[in-house]
């Protein structure tokens, strides 16, 4: 799919961006150009050690901010696919610096769309999060606005052959700031603080996140918001898996947190289709024929009122399964 194509990843030095880079370079050795677009030169310098341009001649590192439209238009020149992963993603930092979060997550999304349209990009896949579903914090709200911008962008393409789609998933196992590395670090002190004993979360590996982005790049018709079918875990089971002999005091939920995360609300159920491995929330007004879509993907409309929440999930990881996943995937830095 990507041999002879040019790809740009905004936020390419982040955890998803780096994992995508590795997969793309391994799977499509004849990719024409893979552009990493982000702000911090140090992160790019470090990434270039891992992906040296001598070994990977297709890779390019461009310093730039998603808030800077002119720079993005230059960067998008000749690019076929854009993966938009750049974001401010820490809930409490976004609450404390709301204007900055709006500029990056909403203004950045607008700029990606404008630059893609002006440079005749073929397909843009934007990253969303479970926190964008019925959001209760600014991070989630800005990502919901971003999702809406990308879905609606399919209606302003005119004669251009460009598609915009969205991939939404939950907590990436072991990613920076997530509970698993936090508990692993705390274990030595003998105390693992539990915010709320009823709390649940979705769980996805970085590899499955990458797979989903590539699925969207290959199969989207434009305007879909893809959601993976993934298991949940109870926060108390993570504590049990990591420190069964530690104290587990309940410290209370933090501002902006939910007890359970959602990825599809019952109001979305009217346009949500089961595609087998994934759900897709389809646009209210698609610019393609819905019956052809259903037939092509064997897509089935979910039941009215269906909602996909980490608390009501049918699939939960038990303590033993969590222990194995943590041993295999989570590293502390
Ligand atoms: N990690 C999770 O658990 C999770 C779960 C669901 C969804 N997501 C979504 O997945 C996407 C990728 O997440 P991640 O975990 O890979 O994030 P990450 O590791 O924090 O990486 C963020 C990337 O964005 C870049 N960036 C931030 N602000 C930028 C700006 N204004 N202009 C250009 N680049 C900017 C950062 O580099 P510089 O700072 O150098 O610019 C970095 O490369 C995000 O959209 C996030 O919302 C993540």
15 pocket-lining for ligand 1 (C-beta < 6 Å): yes
Task: Please give the model's pTM, rounded to 2 decimal places.
Answer: 0.96
172 pocket-lining for ligand 1 (C-beta < 6 Å): yes
d(CA 207, CA 159): 35
Q: Which CATH superfamily is domain 6-172+204-230+263-309 in?
A: NAD(P)-binding Rossmann-like Domain (3.40.50.720)
Q: Is 178 helix (H, G, I), strand (E, B) or coil?
A: coil
In contact, 84 and 116? CB cutoff 8 Å: no
pLDDT of residue 333: 53
Question: What is the tens place of the pLDDT at every residue in 225-279?
Answer: 999 999 999 999 999 999 999 999 999 998 889 999 999 999 999 999 999 999 9
In contact, 140 and 265? CB cutoff 8 Å: no
- Ligand 1 centroid to Cα of residue 295, in Å, is 35
Sorting pLDDT into bands at 50, 70 and 90, what band is 331? low
Q: What's the gap between Cα 246 and its chain centre?
A: 33
Alpha-helical segments (H) within the chain:
15-27, 41-50, 69-75, 91-96, 98-102, 108-118, 138-153, 179-186, 206-219, 235-242, 290-297, 319-329
pLDDT at 40 over 70: yes
263 pocket-lining for ligand 1 (C-beta < 6 Å): no
- Closest approach atom of ligand 1 to CA 16: 16
pLDDT at 92 over 60: yes
Q: How many CA atoms lie within 13 A of 218 on its CB side?
A: 10
- Ligand 1 centroid to Cα of residue 10, in Å, is 8
105 pocket-lining for ligand 1 (C-beta < 6 Å): no
- Ligand 1 centroid to Cα of residue 188, in Å, is 30
Q: Where are the domains of the chain?
A: 6-172+204-230+263-309
Residue with the smallest CA separation from ligand 1 atom 22 is 14
């Amino acid at each position: 799919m990507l041999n002879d194509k040019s790809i740009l990843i905004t936020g390419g030095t982040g955890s998803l961006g780096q994992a995508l880079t590795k997969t793309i370079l391994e799977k499509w050795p004849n990719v024409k150009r893979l552009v990493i677009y982000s702000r911090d030169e140090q992160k790019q310098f470090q990434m270039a050690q891992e992906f040296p341009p001598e070994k990977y001649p297709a890779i390019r590192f461009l310093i730039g901010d998603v808030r800077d439209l002119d720079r993005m238009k230059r960067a998008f020149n000749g690019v076929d696919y854009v993966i938009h992963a750049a974001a401010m993603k820490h809930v409490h930092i976004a609450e404390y610096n709301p204007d900055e979060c709006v500029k990056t997550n909403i203004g950045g999304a607008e700029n990606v769309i404008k630059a893609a349209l002006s440079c005749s990009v073929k397909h843009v896949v934007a990253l969303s999060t479970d926190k964008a579903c019925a959001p209760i914090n600014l991070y989630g709200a800005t990502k919901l606005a971003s999702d809406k911008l990308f879905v609606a962008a399919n209606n302003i393409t005119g004669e251009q052959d460009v598609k915009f789609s969205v991939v939404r998933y939950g907590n990436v196992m072991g990613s920076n700031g997530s509970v698993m590395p936090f508990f692993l670090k705390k274990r030595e002190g003998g105390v693992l603080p539990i915010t709320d004993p009823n709390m649940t979360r979705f769980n996805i590996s970085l590899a499955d996140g990458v797979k989903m982005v590539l699925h969207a790049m290959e199969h989207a018709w434009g305007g879909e918001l893809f959601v993976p079918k993934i298991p949940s875990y109870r926060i108390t089971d993570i504590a049990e898996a990591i420190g069964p002999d530690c104290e587990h005091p309940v410290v209370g939920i933090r501002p902006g947190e939910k007890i359970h995360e959602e990825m599809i609300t019952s109001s979305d159920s009217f346009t949500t289709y089961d595609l087998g491995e994934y759900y897709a929330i389809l646009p209210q007004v698609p610019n393609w024929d819905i019956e052809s879509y259903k037939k092509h993907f064997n897509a089935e409309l979910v039941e009215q009122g269906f909602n996909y929440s980490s608390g009501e999930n049918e699939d939960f990881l038990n303590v033993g399964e969590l222990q194995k996943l943590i041993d295999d995937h989570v590293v502390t830095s």
